[in-house]
Structure 1
Amino acid sequence: MSLVDISRPGTPTHDELVPSRYAQPVGDIEVLVISDGVLPIPAPVMATNADSATLSTWLDEMFLPPEVLDWPLNVVVVRSGERTILVDAGLGMEFPDFPRAGQTVRRLEAAGIDLGSVTDVVLTHLHMDHVGGLLTDGVKARLRPDLRIHVAAREAEFWEKPDFSHTAMPAPVPGTLRRVASQFLSDYHGQLRPFETEYEVAPGVLVTRTGGHTPGHSVVRVESAGERLTFAGDAVFQVGFDNPGWFNGFEHDPEEAARVRIALLQELAATGESLVATHLPFPSVCRVAAAGDAFRCVPAVWDY
């Protein structure tokens, strides 16, 4: 059996060669991290307030390419009690320019998770790489009619008339973000369950609005039997450990986003709990250690 045969998508008896799901129990709660794939992003977007030489040095030290990076995309499935919760939905299949992303639905199926079994969706925010999977053709028809979609009320309000004046995104992106968010809010209006500050989705699963990256950006905290894990969405990027004050071009309030990031990393360093984030290398499960004015990402040892 060749590696090509093993890794060929759609082969019924074999999984993909590269792992795309990772189970991380948190006490009695089941957490499954699923890779939605990767998409290309211009390197300068990672640090819009850093000079190019400093960013180039960091990229070189991290063995990352100088111009275009592969940006990981992770989503999470949480099972607590009777509820199966999908946290974020990936990019979706609408974007042919990003053929290596938009894998969430297929990889949920490969993990044995039927879309009809999902009782709740939590959206950290409404950027296209977090809601696009729900807009893929045929997906809504496979979801439960009583599906509850939890998103901060401030986030839904923001996308009615979004302000991109403080972002530094590639030119085509703002219009696409606006269109996708508008379509999502229209298609799923009847299933939205907006919350103001925080909401307990299921026992031990709490979604909390942080703001910063977008006005309604939220994180999901999972706690059971003395163990804790935080899914940070886009509050933390790979570069944010070494340089937490660097601005990301997709942040709608970069100064507030930096404050949120630093406060969250300080908290996680103090508690020692696990961290998962959308754009950290899969499976992204790590702990945070303080390192002077910066931080270290300490990857978890995979539990085989």
Structure 2
Amino acid sequence: MFSLENPVTPVAPARDELVPSRYALKVGDIDVLVVSDGVLPLPTQMLGHNVPQSERAPWFEQMYLPQDAFDWALNVMVVRSGDRAILIDAGLGMDPDLQLPRAGQLIRRLGASGIDLAEITDVVITHMHMDHIGGLLVDGVKAQLRPDLQIHIAAAEVAFWKSPDFTRTNMPPGFPDALRATATHFWAEYSSYVRTFEDEHEVAPGVVVRRTGGHTPGHSVVRLASGGQALTFAGDAVFAVGFDQPNWHNGFEHDPDASARVRIALLQALAGTGELLVATHLPFPSVGRVSVEGDAFRWVPVFWDF
């Protein structure tokens, strides 16, 4: 079983990699490692395509972000609970057609963390967008995985990708076709490993995956709870702008109105409990809490524990 405190046979980091790419913490007795899969440059319109540029511009200015495009973080988690080692989402992998060289770093960074793919007992897929499943499609990865690996995905998600509907999304050119192709490839490779659930499933002690819908019909979040502590991995339910503007529509949301409802309910719940939040596209390591500020929310990053 891997150890978050004492990585074995680490792979040397790239000489040009001058920023941290993993962050370890504990939730009660559960070990958690947040791993960066890199960054994904996308147009700023993707964070609020239902409002005009004149409304989006002040937010980006206040956040000291460029007005045209910026880098979305890609975060993945590895969790150890009991005798289970669980990978939550699998990053982008490598898609040369989209020319995204700074993403798809997960497999290399797992190796640098001393995590052997053969130790992973379970994979939870929050949804089947390519930046959450693509790492499993990198050449040579499948051969390193356990034959008894279980991949947990909501049944509604599997059904959706048999004939996906993109009519309410607002994506850059090329992305819908890439998403379809990646989901089809993933299913062809891993359908025999998939274990579906309807609404909620306990993967390991204190590790529960729950379908929320919204972003995609089977989009799910994962809640860790142990020793009076808790952390929710929110997948794509929450984006950086979603605290200040939870009703802005993200271009990758297949049902934007439902996504906003899911986002607001989740942020309200987390603000009420003070539990930790990690999300795929919040700035690495994305570990923080939620507070309420008037009619909006506020993300409160944790102080790093060294």
* TM-score scaled by length of structure 1: 0.95
Aligned counterpart, 1:7: none
Structure 1, residues 27-86: CA drift from partner, whole Å, max 9, x if none? 000010000000110111110111111101110110001101101000000000100000
Structure 1, residues 238-277: CA drift from partner, whole Å, max 9, x if none? 0000000100010000000000000000000000000000
Per the TM alignment, residue 95 of structure 1 is displaced from its structure 2 partner at its CA by 2.9
Aligned counterpart, 2:23: 22
Aligned counterpart, 1:43: 44
Structure 1 residue runs of 5 or longer lacking an equivalent are 1-9
Read off the aligned partner of 2:165 and give its amino acid letter: D
Aligned counterpart, 1:185: 187
Read off the aligned partner of 2:96 and give its amino acid letter: F
Aligned counterpart, 2:243: 241
Aligned counterpart, 1:56: 57
Structure 1, residues 192-233: CA drift from partner, whole Å, max 9, x if none? 000000100000000000000000000000000000000000
Read off the aligned partner of 1:197 and give its amino acid letter: D
CA–CA distance in structure 2, aligned partners of residues 80 and 16 of structure 1? 30
Classify the secondary structure of the residue corresponding to 2:248: coil
Contact 2:244 2:298 in 1 (8 A): yes
CA–CA distance in structure 1, aligned partners of residues 181 and 126 of structure 2? 18
Contact 1:94 1:136 in 2 (8 A): no
Contact 2:13 2:112 in 1 (8 A): no
Cα RMSD (Å) of the superposition? Answer: 1.3
* TM-score scaled by length of structure 2: 0.94
CA–CA distance in structure 2, aligned partners of residues 285 and 243 of structure 1? 20
Per the TM alignment, residue 237 of structure 1 is displaced from its structure 2 partner at its CA by 0.1
**Superposition pairs for residues 228-267 of structure 1, below 5 Å?**
228-267=230-269
Classify the secondary structure of the residue corresponding to 2:181: helix
Question: Are 1:289 and 2:252 matched, yes or no?
Answer: no
Read off the aligned partner of 1:65 and give its amino acid letter: P
Per the TM alignment, residue 173 of structure 1 is displaced from its structure 2 partner at its CA by 0.7
**Superposition pairs for residues 115-130 of structure 1, below 5 Å?**
115-130=117-132
Aligned pair partner of 1:135 in 134, 137, 143: 137
Aligned pair partner of 2:109 in 77, 86, 107: 107
Structure 1, residues 131-171: CA drift from partner, whole Å, max 9, x if none? 00000011000000100000000000000000001111112
CA 1:13–1:132 in 2, change beyond 3 Å: closer, same or farther? closer
Read off the aligned partner of 2:60 and give its amino acid letter: L
Aligned counterpart, 1:72: 73
